[in-house]
């Protein structure tokens, strides 16, 4: 392929990777509508709150009294197996990025909201959250693994249902804003 030519070696047009990634997905974008905007607001708020909480957890066991209690109740491991501070900050960053993707995808008529990067990111966020939620319900519900009873209780009553809900809200937004003709 000749650099800068309009035709590649297969006879098609040259592909600019940046343009392909950040360019709009073909097809007229559907507006998010009131339901899509509400889903995006709720999902972004939940993801943002989870990001903030993980950022706090990188430095503190709040709202619990000790790291040992935090490890048992929140993470489901022994204190010696707690994730490192940098790993927890990385999770906080990923959750913050997920919140940004959701907010950006709720504006499908904006150039970035209609990009492949944002569209793929929103579907990925939805899938990861749904898998975490469903997996947690199965593992904790059936008592698989060696997680403490306190963790299983909170995983069944809060952590997994929250992940399923955030995944569903994000998936709803992704469906509501996909190109027309693909519904």
> How far, in Å, CA of 63 to CA of 61, rounded?
6
pLDDT in single tens digits along all 183 residues of the chain: 444 545 444 445 555 666 655 555 555 556 677 788 899 999 999 999 999 999 999 999 999 999 999 999 999 999 999 999 999 999 999 999 999 999 999 986 777 887 888 989 999 999 999 999 999 999 999 999 899 999 999 999 999 999 999 999 999 999 988 776 554
In a domain, 160, yes or no: yes
Structural domain boundaries, residue 115: 34-176
Number of domains in the chain: 1
Kindly state whether residue 42 falls inside one of the protein's structural domains: yes
Tokens of 37: 């905007």
In a domain, 10, yes or no: no
- Total-model pTM: 0.82
Does any domain span residue 7?
no
Distance CA 154, CA 54 (A): 16
Residue 46 falls inside a structural domain? yes
Tally of CB atoms within 10 A around 90: 14
pLDDT of residue 178: 79
pLDDT digits (tens, 9 = 90+) for 135-167: 999 999 999 989 999 999 999 999 999 999 999
């Amino acid at each position: 392929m000749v650099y800068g030519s309009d035709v590649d070696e297969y006879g098609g047009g040259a592909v600019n990777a940046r343009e392909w990634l950040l360019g709009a997905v073909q097809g007229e974008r559907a507006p998010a509508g009131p339901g899509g905007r509400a889903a995006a607001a709720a999902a972004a708020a939940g993801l943002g709150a989870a990001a903030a909480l993980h950022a706090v957890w990188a430095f503190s066991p709040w709202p619990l009294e000790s790291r040992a209690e935090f490890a048992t109740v929140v993470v489901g491991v022994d204190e010696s197996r707690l994730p490192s501070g940098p790993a927890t900050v990385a999770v906080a960053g990923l959750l913050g990025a997920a919140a940004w993707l959701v907010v950006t995808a709720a504006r499908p008529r904006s150039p970035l909201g209609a990009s492949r990067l944002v569209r793929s990111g929103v579907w990925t966020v939805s899938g990861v959250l749904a898998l975490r939620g469903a997996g947690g319900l199965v593992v904790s519900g059936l008592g698989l693994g060696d997680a403490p009873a306190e963790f299983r209780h909170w995983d069944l009553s809060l952590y997994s249902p929250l992940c399923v809900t955030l995944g569903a809200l994000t998936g709803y937004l992704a469906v509501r804003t996909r190109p027309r003709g693909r519904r």
